[in-house]
Amino acid sequence: MDQETYLQQIAETRPERIAWWQEARFGMFVHWGLYAQLGRHEWVMNRERIPVAEYEKLAATWHPKERPAREWAALAKQAGMKYMVMTTKHHEGFCLWDTKQTDYNAAKCGPGRDLVREFVDACREFDLKIGFYYSLMDWHHPDGALCAKDEAARRRFLDFTQGCVRELMSNYGKIDILWYDVSWPLRSPEAWESVTMNTMARELQPHILINNRSQLPEDFGTPEEHVTAEEEGRAWEACMTFNGSWGYMPIAPDWRPVREVIDMLRTATAGQGNLLLNIGPKPDGSVPPEATERLTAVGQWIAKNGEALYGQVDRAGRGRVEFMVTGSWTIKGNSAYYWCHRWPGSELVIGGLRTKVLKASLLADGTPITFEQTEERLVLKNLPHFDPDPIAGVTVIKLDFDSPPVQRLGAGCVLLD
């Protein structure tokens, strides 16, 4: 099939396939592989120029504990996440599943078992959708680089790659997301045979969502380490590290605070996007306590304020609601959610709302708020003097309007148009 026809066909089935994902909002990324043993970032093999023969030894010394994926899934569930994506093979080339394509895999080496199977089982147990990350780039496969220059090597490498994808799409029941990464060193989707590969994936998994990293736009964009909306109408998911490294890296001390995670969720929601937040488990599979602590708090916050982020939301921002200084918005139908992260005290003034407010309340517990709305100003009164959110200092105020909310402030004190 030619590329244009392929892209057209998947666009037609996308709205139905992607509906759950667009309501899910929040997922857990898991980067786990041999590199966890070194604890110096998942790019350590490349950055430190570790020879293949030396790096390979890590396959024999890796002995994770029993079923750590259950711990990740339990944490994801508690954190309010709705899906998980795990590295089945990162750039290092070590396969976490029992593959026939190479013996360099978790079942035949140190772990002695299929870690992808454990991941899938854990997701199902905790009712989370399942995503497979797969790095096209491969530093271990003898043809992984040679394929760029040698046609026979390219054929062998593509057969290997397609063999891996076929197994992942065949052996684990229903899989929800195929998350490709780094398409080095081949320079075009034709060279990668991406249409053929992804058509095969879709035949095996008709409901699957595929990301944009096999050199085709596919179902969704993947801004990395920044939460930035793609153009309207295009689905997107920001993937973010927790501490600057995807793989386990205990020497990276700057963990994102709970407030920042909540703010990323708000930005994602406002742009109708998703947030895929990473954990890099330790070699034994346990989650770094810094991640557990923060995700637990995020989950407690979401348990009270989830309505402001889950579900089919509208695009906030320019033309609908404005940039504010005490907080920011998400919107859904006739409601607006004001995520107040700088609590002003007993009174909060919001300017420029052009739609009629019917009701104001604290989202977390439904406490009604008295208010006065004039042409230019909404004054919320008798608020608690201190920020009522004990978890993160982010209080969501829900406003119900008589129609979809519109706020216009202009740049001066008079609207010019």
* Strand 274-279 with 26-30, pairing: parallel
319 Ramachandran zone, left/alpha/beta (phi>0; psi -120 to 50): left
Q: How many residues does the chain have?
A: 417
Is 224 or 290 the residue whose CB approaches ligand GLC more closely?
A: 224
By CB under 6 A, residue 42 contacts ligand GLC: yes
Cβ atoms within 10 Å, residue 74: 15
Is residue 224 a contact residue for ligand GLC (CB under 6 A)? yes
User: Given the complex with ligand GLC, which of 48 and 203 has the nearer CB atom?
Assistant: 48
**Minimum distance from residue 42 beta carbon to ligand GLC (Å):** 5
Q: What is the CA 275 to chain-centroid distance, rounded?
A: 4
Can you tell me which of 122, 178, 239, 378 binds ligand GLC, judged by CB under 6 A? Answer: 239
Please tell me whether residue 258 binds ligand GLC under the rule CB under 6 A.
no
Structure-block tokens of residue 56: 């390979």
Between 71 and 224, whose beta carbon lies closer to ligand GLC? 224
Interacting residue with ligand GLC among 246, 329, 337, 401 (CB under 6 A): 246
**Contacts of ligand GLC in 290-309 (CB under 6 A):** none
Work out the burial of residue 156: count CB atoms within 10 Å of its CB; fewer than 13 is exposed, 13-18 middle, 19 or more buried. middle
Nearer to ligand GLC, 139 or 338 (CB): 139
CB of 55 to ligand GLC, least distance (A): 15
Return the number of the residue (184 or 371) whose C-beta is nearest ligand GLC: 184
The yes or no reply on residue 389 touching ligand GLC (CB under 6 A) is no
Tell me how far, at minimum, the Cβ of 359 lies from ligand GLC, in Å.
41
**Which residue lies nearer to ligand GLC by CB, 221 or 271?**
221
Site mask, ligand GLC, residues 77-106, x = CB under 6 A?
A: ------------------------------
Nearer to ligand GLC (CB atom), residue 1 or residue 182: 182
Q: How many residues contact ligand GLC, by CB under 6 A?
A: 8
Query: Which 132-191 residues touch ligand GLC, going by CB under 6 A?
Result: 181-182
Nearer to ligand GLC, 65 or 226 (CB): 226
Tell me the closest approach of the beta carbon of residue 10 to ligand GLC, in angstroms: 22
Q: Which residues bind ligand GLC (CB under 6 A)?
A: 31, 42-43, 181-182, 224, 239, 246
